[in-house]
Amino acid sequence: MGVTDCHVHINPVWEMRPEARAILGTAGPGAEIERYLREPARFLDYLDRCGVERAVLVNYVAPETVGYTERANDFVAEYCRADPRRLVAVGSVLPTHPDPGAEVHRLAAELGIRGLKIHPPHQLFAPNAYTDGRQTGLRAIYAACEELRLPVIVHTGTSVFPGARNKFGSPLLVEDVAVDFPRLTIVLAHGGRPLWMAEAMFLARRFPNVYLEVSGVPPAKLLEYFPQLPRLTDKVLFGSDWPGPGVRDIGENLAAFRRLPLPPEAVERILTRNAEAVFPGPSA
């Protein structure tokens, strides 16, 4: 069983708004990544060089801030057809969709989407906004994911993209979802970094189906950010957030992670087995 990177941004960056793309432009890897975005085979070669077996390709719809539209779902579905064993397609449905529950079913059945992303700071709503009547469509989205056993990845923590509303990045806003949809698998992306690590850790310990995913945190600093992590290694997922701002290379991140003073079984769980549980291989 190989390593899974649970958070990679293979996204249609040509759809980004110029001011959002400028953030990637200064820190991103440039021309080489553009080739990966257009040619899955080249990206798979890159994963081989990094020592990574599988990558979860996190795509989402956020027209008002980053600029991604529903075409992101078609993009990631098509991309992952190159190797569904190694590439896991994650897409998204906005709660304002006319029939969000049916759309989740369509993404799973027709496009082969295997997880849903919710990005509250970029999508401009709280993940629990079904509880106060602001985004009632969220209830249908979570219910459909629970029924279809699709994990939901929720961005927790801040974002530096223009227009982001970071008040929606608090992990505690996800607690309602964990309570109301107890069979739903929830991944707290970025573990609430840099403001709310303790909240994210609390939820992952408290709820059997809530996982803590550590992408975006410099791996060498992981145990500073999450001092309790060694006691929760069956609920932690490795991810890089590559090629997001400040993340140069997946292989470098992986090597830094392996240098942490964790027992080998814990490293094995975080890099491979936990991800197999949350993102199982494609059904035959």
Find the shortest distance in angstroms from Cβ 58 to Zn ion.
Answer: 6
Find the shortest distance in angstroms from Cβ 63 to Zn ion.
Answer: 17
Residue pair 6/242 in contact by the 8 Å Cβ criterion: no
Mask for 236-255, x = binds Zn ion (CB under 5 A): -----x--------------
User: Closest CB to Zn ion among 199 and 241?
Assistant: 241
User: Closest CB to Zn ion among 5 and 241?
Assistant: 241
Piece of 124-132, 192-200, 224-232, 234-242 that binds Zn ion (CB under 5 A): 234-242
Count the residues of the shown chain that bind Zn ion, applying the rule CB under 5 A. 1
Q: Count how many Cα atoms sit within 13 Å of the Cα of residue 47 in the half-sphere of its side chain.
A: 25
Distance CA 118, CA 142 (A): 10
Give the residue from 229, 241, 209, 242 showing the smallest Cα distance to 270: 229
Distance CA 88, CA 211 (A): 17
- Give the DSSP letter string of 183-234: T--EEEEGGGTTT-HHHHHHHHHH-TTEEEE-TTS-GGGHHHH-TTGGG-GG
Find the shortest distance in angstroms from Cβ 217 to Zn ion.
Answer: 12
User: Closest CB to Zn ion among 175 and 241?
Assistant: 241
User: Closest CB to Zn ion among 176 and 241?
Assistant: 241
Helix, strand or coil, per DSSP, at residue 48: helix
Residue pair 206/179 in contact by the 8 Å Cβ criterion: no
Find the shortest distance in angstroms from Cβ 77 to Zn ion.
Answer: 19
Find the shortest distance in angstroms from Cβ 66 to Zn ion.
Answer: 11
Q: Which residue is nearest to Zn ion (CB)?
A: 241
- Which residues are at the interface with Zn ion (CB under 5 A)? 241
